Structure 1
Amino acid sequence: MTQEKWTAVDRYITDILVPPDPALDAALQASDAAGLPPHNVSPNQGKLLMLLALIHKAHNILEIGTLGGYSTIWLARALPTNGRLITLESDPKHAEVARHNITHAGLTNIVEVRVGKALDTLAKLATENCHPFDLIFIDADKPSNPEYFSWALKLSCKGSLIIADNVVRDGAVIEPDSVDPKVQGIRRFNEMLGSEPRVSATAIQTVGSKGYDGFAIALVTSDQ
């Protein structure tokens, strides 16, 4: 199997199951025009996130890592009219693009973009009356994933779902001596998942237009 074939299969799946959407397509175009890195989830992965949020009947979602707001839009569309999504972005330029895309998608009444270093923003969230979150999506700088997971536990409750992207890193996650801080961050995160008694977790490998990677999914099974 090759990257070319993975991408072709993703295109086939998307053509059948993820029809064109003006707001989502515009979000990708605006992000590309603004020079944002192409790190957003693929369309079929975005729809998976939305379906997981719908299945979980999420009302209060936290996203760590906004980029251009593509996954934000997918997740927000799963929320009821009285739902809320807070998304955290460290780069002001990315946040500006995301806000534009979220406005274009008609979701400003549900989505709040907060700008700043996520570890600082998470600490502030913990002091506010806006949690527990019933779904948390982690997709930011990978070296900080262990800290993000720790905060996710503090901001969740029994029954919350925690999802993390990019947990396989082209298979490099099995290399204990890797000098890549992203790989080491993910390794520590995966080890935390395995040793944390308050969650039941698994991870799946994925291939497609975004290459070879994976998602981790953890269900919080006991209160803090």
Structure 2
Amino acid sequence: MADTPTPEALDALLAPLAAEDEALIAARTSIEVTRPGIEVSPSAGRLLNILAAAAGAKRVLEFGTLAGYSTIWLARAVGPTGRVVSLELERRNAETARRNFEAAGVSAWVDIMCGPAAKTSARLTELQVTPFDFVFIDADKATLPTYLERSMALTKPGSLIVIDNVVRAGKVLHPDDDDARGVRAALQMASDDPRLVVTAIQTVGTKGWDGFALLRRVDF
């Protein structure tokens, strides 16, 4: 009986499906950011691209830019007639991301707002901006309930919200971890909200054991 293949071997087999170009590879491997290597995997990036395109999204909100890897996938989904607004805490990361957007050819329709995402998202609600069709939340997990609340204020019926890192190698169950508490609270909020239908999908690969939650607004 053949040995069970490793997640790394399976990732290598599936990697061509993501079809990364040089700009995406450069963004994924950027080392100038505060936390290199924590961006989504290529397959997850492609999934975000497919979900946003399938939803017909033209306005995307992202919590957490880092080097702009997932942002590029989302920007390519909405195309030059769309708009992506990405919220990033660190100016250093934002500067790196902007260079990557230029290389990827998407900078004309991507905006970065710098500062704590709880504050920048509050600013967006105050401005009463046009609702977003798609939201990707990949920022600090302890503040997830606030990010979800803001996402609901900034979307409309039919919008999709994706929350990354909801499994965290099982650490989501840890009772004394702030990030785990944030994830659990946000998932409970989503489950209790009659405006949402929710599911969660576990993932495994070179990025480890994790998962994401997919939320759709149904308050038509």
Q: Which runs of 5+ in 2 are unaligned?
A: none
Please name the residue that 2:22 is paired with. 22
Please name the residue that 1:204 is paired with. 201
Contact 2:63 2:87 in 1 (8 A): yes
Kindly state the Cα deviation for residue 180 of structure 1 after the two structures are TM-superposed.
Answer: 1.3
SS at match of 1:211: coil
SS at match of 1:63: strand
Q: Amino acid of the residue matched to residue 96 of structure 1?
A: E
Please name the residue that 1:181 is paired with. 178
Counterparts of 1:129 and 1:190, CA distance in 2 = 26
SS at match of 2:31: helix
Please name the residue that 1:54 is paired with. 53
Please name the residue that 2:212 is paired with. 215
Mean Cα deviation higher: 128-137 or 98-107: 128-137
Please name the residue that 1:193 is paired with. 190
Identity percentage of aligned residues? 43
Q: Say if 2:10 is the partner of 1:9.
A: yes
Please give the per-residue CA displacement for 1:90-149, whole angstroms capped at 9, x wherever unaligned.
Answer: 011111111111111111111001101111101111122532100000000000001000
Contact 1:86 1:113 in 2 (8 A): yes
Q: Amino acid of the residue matched to residue 14 of structure 1?
A: A
Mean Cα deviation higher: 20-29 or 81-90: 20-29
Q: Amino acid of the residue matched to residue 195 of structure 1?
A: D
TM-score normalised to the size of structure 2? 0.94
Q: Amino acid of the residue matched to residue 103 of structure 1?
A: E
Aligned-residue RMSD, C-alpha = 1.4
Q: Say if 2:82 is the partner of 1:83.
A: yes
Counterparts of 1:18 and 1:53, CA distance in 2 = 15
Q: Amino acid of the residue matched to residue 135 of structure 1?
A: F
SS at match of 1:127: helix
Q: Which runs of 5+ in 1 are unaligned?
A: none
The 3 A distance-change label for structure 1 pair 33 and 155 is: closer
Contact 1:36 1:68 in 2 (8 A): no
